[in-house]
Structure 1
Amino acid sequence: MIRAIHYATGEPVTISMDQGIITNLAPISETEIGDAGLPLAASGLVDLQINGFAGLDFNRLPMPDTLLGDAIRKLWSQGVTACYPTVITNGAEEIRALLASIARACDEDPVVEQGIAGIHLEGPFISPQDGARGAHGLEYVRAPDWELFCGWQAASGGRIKIVTVSPEWPGSASFIRQCTDSGVTVSIGHTSATSEQIQEAVDAGARMSTHLGNGAHLMLPRHPNYIWEQLAQDRLSSCVIADGFHLPDQVLKVVLKVKGKQALLVSDAVSLSGLEAGTYTTHIGGQVVLTPQGRLHLAENENILAGSAQMLLAGIEHLTGRGLTAFDEAWDMASIRPATAMNLPSAVGLQAGAPADLVLFRMVGSRIQVERTYKKGERVYTKP
């Protein structure tokens, strides 16, 4: 049993758990709260796109046997109870090896199996154009290939649950339909597709946009363009990076207003997230600088971002601190909404019958301080 303040209602409650499930939420009186007050309680965070954390890189080969287990355990301190490790554009054999490493870690470590809700394959079926391609290696970009994808899916043990695709390639609609029919969520991203190609992709089953507004050309036609088109597609959920660096507040505000409950938060964090400020050498961006404010940019050009170094908590803090949305909505954007998009059991939120994946935290000014994290009703993290 946990006593806490419900993050959305503000009411003090007792949360009862049994065998990994929340069995009851019951109100408690003010006299039971105590002098120290109670922490807030909310559903665990679900990160649909994360490339690494605390120096642990999900795209470096060979992948150490303990890397994913170490990462999942470290992510508990950030309130993340489920994630989708993201494998990015690479050579066919390298992708297969990374997927097989993740599958092996899931088979060997129950913590990894429970913490990984699926794998996000971001590429290589993306735009070859500069700007839209982002930092993905041009030499590995290729047209969608169902037979190749099936081989990768087999190597992953069926764990690829999201694939980022640009529908600009001929035959994309057929590939998207096959993915959708096999239970894989197709997300449009790193694209230079026309409005007609995006519409065709949505009709074929595409249901998300990968970090909308990023992985895009610096200059676009006023209208139509692929950002407006994805915003206008009612069947697409929009994933955004709200770290204060990737998107200006005006864009975040528009996405929130247009998409409503289909606006989702992702971290898209790289392995340097959680590390001290400084200059680092990476195998993708070369020499990069992580500033004390948490901005990651190329050492040779501070105007070019080298990925995200902020976690979902930072996105929640930014949205609420800038007055773009209420706290409970921002938290839902990083927990209940991504769970809903992926049909996870935690989509029901903080109520009886939900998985007991919980985060207890306090607000210290505008910052979120995680005190405890629970996975399947077991306390897996306690603030030192």
Structure 2
Amino acid sequence: MTTFEGRAHGGDGVLRVEVAEGRITGVTRHAAADPSLPVLAPGLVDAQVNGYAGLDVNADDVSADTIAALTQRLAAAGVTTWVPTVITGSQERILHALDAVRQARAADERVHAAIPCAHVEGPFISPDDGARGVHDVEWIRPIDADEVARWQQAGPVGVVTVSPHLDGSAEQVRRIVRAGVTVSIGHTSADHAHIAAAVDAGATLATHLGNGIQPMLPRHPNPIWSLLADDRVTAGLIADGHHLPDETLVSMIRAKGDDGAYLVSDLTAIGGLTPGRHTTPVGGVVVLGEDLRLGHEETGLLAGAAATLTDGVRHLARVPAVGLARALRMASRVPARVTPGTRPGLGTLEVGAPADLLLLRPDDLAVDQVVVGGTPVPT
């Protein structure tokens, strides 16, 4: 048995967590609080990762080794569970990426534990400028449940992002959900009626709400209001300080309530690299700023993110209307609940839960220690 101790992230006092054989076996709380102790929290769960530190899920040469290396590098940054995200492309490229995820999970039980499923973001999205983001319009196509079934044969597809802007979309959504895949609405220019029909058909998530949408919208109705208003939809939000202004984040979190919104990074392979110009397999030339803003060189539009989910927690924790406890919940418990294939208890510090822990320095909330399956990992 091993014991880890830190300040409680959701209240006063000190938590002592006992772990054995990869699971939490005991949790006790003490009234006394040592301000020098790190903050103790569950390992973070990132439901949308395209790449990191030069490794890209969407690269032509992505392999099982790529996925395994990403798992290690993300864990060192505090993200102990992640969802590889494959974006718009040819069916062949999507199948290749999904097969790499499948092979990586089959080859290493640690990778299998860290990756509950894969997320395919597109190609069933809006072709409109702004709404499609930097997704290649050449490969955008209508929602096709039969294609999703082919993806399922290649790898562990758990989530598919779609735009239900075309007539007949709801029936395709219904078929995808019946096949056991969670449907998320995003990169969309759909009107309220089409969005409502997709939710009635079983769509339950919103992909990085407020992003992947036209820059100019009618005051009302628009997709943001439609997805915020529906309590059946849990919304992913990017809290890197660039994708959404703080006042927008606060408003969306208040609208969705404690369990209706979760944080994602939308992290790309440019994250962790030096600022400057970089070329990506999806999106072309992008520019990474010192402030970690990642934008397309020609359009200036955001081209994914370069900040980790841990960076997002740190940013949101300093927003007075949110705070650290809520930010951590939105990056652990809530995404663990809505992501298919996650292990029981993931995202909590409860007896029986996976012993994936994160300790943050009290002064700047930087990563102090990461524990995966009860074993500390290099950071």
Q: TM-score range by the shorter chain?
A: over 0.9
Distance change in 2, residues 1:213/1:17 (3 Å): same
**Secondary structure in 2 matching 1:133:** coil
Q: Which amino acid aligns with 2:278?
A: Y
Counterpart of 1:290 in structure 2 is 288
Q: What letter matches 1:284 in structure 2? A: V
Does 1:118 find its partner at 2:117? yes
In the other structure, the counterpart of 2:199 is 202
CA distance in 1, matches of 2:301, 2:127: 19
Deviations along 1:240-280, one digit per CA (max 9) or x if unpaired, are: 11111111122111101100121110000110001121221
Rate the CA distance shift 1:10–1:362 in 2: closer, same or farther, 3 A.
farther
- 1:241 counterpart (238, 241, 255): 238
Amino acid at match of 2:325: D
| Identical residues among aligned pairs (%) | 41
CA deviation string 1:137-193 (max 9, x = no partner)? 11111111122111111011xx11110011112322122122222321110001111
Distance 1:224 1:13 in 2: 46
Partners of 1:139 and 1:233 in 2: CA distance? 32
- Runs of at least 5 residues in structure 2 that lack an aligned partner in the other structure: none
SS in 2 for 1:374: strand
Match of 1:252 in 2: 249
1:316 corresponds to: 313
Alignment partner, residue 181 of structure 1: 178
Partner residue in 2 for 1:129 = 128
Which deviates more, 216-225 or 1-10?
A: 1-10
Aligned position for 1:147 = 146
Distance in 1 between the 2:200 and 2:129 partners? Answer: 27
Distance 1:382 1:148 in 2: 40
Please report how far the alpha carbon of residue 100 of structure 1 lies from its aligned counterpart in structure 2 after TM superposition.
1.0
C-alpha displacement at 1:65, in angstroms? 3.7
TM-score, scaled relative to structure 1: 0.93
CA distance in 1 between counterparts of 2:4 and 2:41 reads 12
After TM superposition, give the deviation of residue 28 of structure 1 in Å.
4.6
Task: Give the aligned CA root-mean-square deviation in angstroms.
Answer: 1.8
Deviates further, 272-281 or 187-196: 272-281
Alignment of 1:15-26 (within 5 A): 15-26=17-28
User: Match for 2:24: what amino acid?
Assistant: I
Alpha-carbon separation, structure 1, partners of 2:92 and 2:84: 18
CA distance in 2, matches of 1:181, 1:72: 30
Q: Confirm or deny that 1:14 pairs with 2:12.
A: no
1:103 positional shift: 0.8
Give the Cα separation in 1 of the matches to 2:61 and 2:174.
33
Q: How does 1:57-96 map to 2 (within 5 A)?
A: 57-96=56-95
Instruction: Write out aligned runs for 1:359-374 (5 A).
Output: 359-364=358-363, 367-374=364-371
Q: CA deviation at 1:52?
A: 0.3
- Rounded to whole Å, the distance in 2 between the matches of 1:96 and 1:168 is 25
Q: Distance in 2 between matches of 1:382 and 1:39?
A: 17
Q: Deviations for 1:114-137, whole angstroms, at most 9, x for unmatched residues? A: 211110000111112221111111
Question: Is structure 2 residue 273 aligned with structure 1 residue 275?
Answer: yes
Q: 275-284 or 329-338: which moved more?
A: 275-284
Q: Which amino acid aligns with 1:117?
A: P
Alignment check: 8 A CA contact 2:206 2:236 kept: yes
SS in structure 2 opposite 1:346?
A: coil
Cα distance per residue 1:297-324 (max 9 Å; x no partner): 23345x4222211111121122122323
The 1:18/1:294 distance shift into structure 2, 3 A limit, reads: same
Tell me the amino acid that sits aligned with residue 234 of structure 2.
S
- Establish whether residue 231 from structure 1 lines up as the match of residue 228 from structure 2: yes
SS of corresponding position for 1:280: strand
Count of residues in Structure 1 that have an aligned counterpart in Structure 2 = 374
Instruction: Quote the Cα distance in structure 1 between the aligned partners of 2:73 and 2:347.
Output: 25
Q: Could you tell me how far apart the structure 1 residues matched to 2:161 and 2:120 are?
A: 6
* Cα pair 2:176 2:183 within 8 Å, conserved: yes
Unaligned runs of 5+ in 1: none
In structure 2, what is the Cα distance between the partners aligned to 1:201 and 1:323? 35
Residue type at the aligned position of 1:9: G
Match of 1:327 in 2: 324
Task: State the Cα deviation string for residues 75-114 of structure 1 (Å, max 9, x = none).
Answer: 1122111111000000011111111111111111223212
Higher mean alpha-carbon deviation, 45-54 vs 354-363, is at: 354-363
